[in-house]
Amino acid sequence: MKKKSIFLFCAIVLLLAAGFLTAYRLYTLYYFRTDYHPAEFTASDKTLHNPWRGWYQIYGYALSDAAPPDAQILEKAIRQDENELVLLQINLREYAGSDISKTALAQLDSLLRTWKASGKQLILRFLYDWNGQAKESEPKEIETVMRHMEQTAEIVNRYKDCVWLMQGIYVGNNGEMNNSAFLSQDNMCKLAAYLDSVIDSEIFLSVRTPAHWRAIARTFAPLSENLAFSGKGAARIGLYNDGMLGSANDLGTYGDTSLDNASDFCAKGTREEELLFQNSLCAYVPNGGEVVVANPYNDFKNARSDLKTMRVTYLNNGYDKAVLDKWRDEAFEDDGCFYGADGYTFIGEHLGYRYALNACTFTFDPFSPDPGTLMLSIENQGFAGCYRPLVSAFTIVNENGAVTDTIKTADDARLWGGGETSSLSVSLDIRTYKTGTFRIYYSLTDTALNREIEFANQETPTEYGYFLGELTVTK
């Protein structure tokens, strides 16, 4: 009899608890409501002024004890250059037989300081030759090249917030890693490893061909995500191709035989193999250069396909004029907001990353103890990702205009590949919100440059970012 009483008591308690929970849920449903009205996003073909991508121009400077760069010419170049990126070629030929002088190093520091003040991002290439005679211009000993790397690194590292990448390992005709006495695999590895050791890890390095990358990395496999963005070794070495789309093998960048049976890391694969290699590698490191020699491979339709496959982020808009003019004379005829745009404009707007807001939704179940979930879909319409870290954040603003919450997400924009759509999700502890209407915004920020990233939407950003929608809470 006693056991039956205990059982009956427990049953009554459980029924009461279940009733209370049901009543609470009904109370919550009736007295706590949310209503979300998402913003509508419209795709745009507008020019985006975002860092670390796009067209660049080249400026050459020869360090010398005799005469520093002309200040007036430098200032004029900065005023007239409308690109985000610039490529500075620094010629060290005068010091091929000695250390770089203090005077020359001061010139380098002044040069980088002036370009940094312009707000541009810098690509650097140190070299000894502009005339196709690298063997005559370069130091006789590899230790001298390494000493120059060490000396220049001391200056370059001061500007790591604006120096994006360095091209080459200081040797070769025009710094392009050819026609040099220092290009055996052992010497390449030695120079690349030393440059890696002295240059700040936030600055990318790059080599001329995929074969150079494999020779230095000593592997046939491109980078994987778990090795990416470490800032050391092959994980930060990208590519610069100054023969891009110039022929079937990009003017010697690729080879004619398959890598299937290659035993030498220095071997060059076929065009098809090397394009796929770049597609994998350059998901994590930048790729860019110059398009050259008008031919069917750089016809607009072929070019945009290969540039996308190679994940190209930056191109010279001063060379080759014949190719660039060919793009200007062709039109983009696929559906979308770029319909009718000329090829030069289309390619320029798709170099690197081009983010567009797609849709934003909010879900909340008052019957569940879980918080609400805000989800944002972002499409990267560009050829490549952004290789620098960006801060991703949602901002909640109440109806009085006060910020009630800022939620930084753990999403890594560097992994939002070209042509891909990514979904961001954050939790909102909506039960702690007061009654009222809240406006939700989103922003991506490059904190190194203190720059807000522009999105490829017609909507205009506010001080909080881009408006995503309005959430009303009723209790």
Q: What is the pLDDT of residue 365?
A: 87
Question: Are residues 387 and 422 both part of a single domain?
Answer: yes
Phi, psi of 98 (to 5 degrees): -160, 175
Encode pLDDT of 287-335 as tens digits. Answer: 999 999 999 999 999 999 999 999 999 999 999 999 999 999 999 999 9
Encode pLDDT of 77-106 as tens digits. Answer: 888 999 999 999 999 999 999 999 999 999
Question: Are residues 419 and 288 both part of a single domain?
Answer: no
Question: Are residues 6 and 61 both part of a single domain?
Answer: no
Give ∠ CA 84-86-91 in degrees, rounded to 5: 170
Signed CA dihedral, 173, 175, 180, 183: sign only: negative
The answer to whether 377 touches 38, Cβ cutoff 8 Å, is: no
Question: Are residues 95 and 3 both part of a single domain?
Answer: no
236 burial level (CB within 10 Å; 0-12, 13-18, 19+): buried
For 21, the enclosing helix (H) or strand (E) is: helix 2-31
Encode pLDDT of 100-112 as tens digits. Answer: 999 999 999 999 9
CATH number for the domain that contains residue 275 = 3.20.20
Domain tally for the chain?
3
Signed CA dihedral, 135, 141, 145, 148: sign only: negative
Going by pLDDT thresholds of 50, 70 and 90, the confidence category of residue 30 is very low
Question: Are residues 244 and 387 both part of a single domain?
Answer: no
Q: What is the pLDDT of residue 320?
A: 95
Q: What is the pTM of this model?
A: 0.91
Cα atoms in the 13 Å half-sphere on the side-chain side of 257: 7
Pairing of strands 54-62, 287-291: unpaired
Identity (one letter) of the amino acid at 426? V
The answer to whether 209 touches 168, Cβ cutoff 8 Å, is: no
Instruction: Tell me which residue of 150, 247, 167, 245 sits closest to 207, measured CA to CA.
Output: 167
Question: Are residues 452 and 319 both part of a single domain?
Answer: no
CA distance 372 to 34: 10
Q: What percent of the chain has pLDDT over 70?
A: 93
Q: Which domain holds residue 305?
A: 54-350
The region that residue 469 occupies, defined by phi over 0 for left and psi between -120 and 50 for alpha, beta otherwise, is left
Q: What percent of the chain has pLDDT over 90?
A: 85
The answer to whether 91 touches 60, Cβ cutoff 8 Å, is: yes
Is residue 179 over pLDDT 50?
A: yes
Question: Are residues 214 and 316 both part of a single domain?
Answer: yes
CA distance 42 to 398: 25
Is residue 265 over pLDDT 50?
A: yes
For 316, the enclosing helix (H) or strand (E) is: strand 314-316
Question: Are residues 337 and 387 both part of a single domain?
Answer: no
Question: Are residues 240 and 113 both part of a single domain?
Answer: yes
Phi, psi of 385 (to 5 degrees): -95, -175
Query: Which of 28-37, 232-241, 300-309, 331-340 is predicted least confidently?
Result: 28-37
392 or 29: which leads in pLDDT: 392
Could you check whether the bond before residue 320 is cis, i.e. omega within 30 degrees of 0?
yes
The alpha carbon of residue 342 and the mean position of all alpha carbons in its chain are separated, in whole angstroms, by: 24
Encode pLDDT of 240-255 as tens digits. Answer: 999 999 999 999 999 9
Q: What is the pLDDT of residue 25?
A: 54
Instruction: Tell me which residue of 90, 147, 160, 148 sits closest to 121, measured CA to CA.
Output: 160
The alpha carbon of residue 224 and the mean position of all alpha carbons in its chain are separated, in whole angstroms, by: 16
Cα atoms in the 13 Å half-sphere on the side-chain side of 274: 29
Is residue 431 over pLDDT 60?
A: yes
CA distance 273 to 279: 10
Domain boundary residue among 296, 318, 350? 350
Question: Are residues 148 and 26 both part of a single domain?
Answer: no
For 245, the token pair is 């789309």
Is residue 9 over pLDDT 80?
A: no
Question: Are residues 124 and 250 both part of a single domain?
Answer: yes
For 62, the token pair is 């020869």
Identity (one letter) of the amino acid at 121? Q
CATH number for the domain that contains residue 462 = 2.70.50
Q: What is the pLDDT of residue 292?
A: 97
Question: Are residues 304 and 424 both part of a single domain?
Answer: no
Q: What is the pLDDT of residue 31?
A: 56
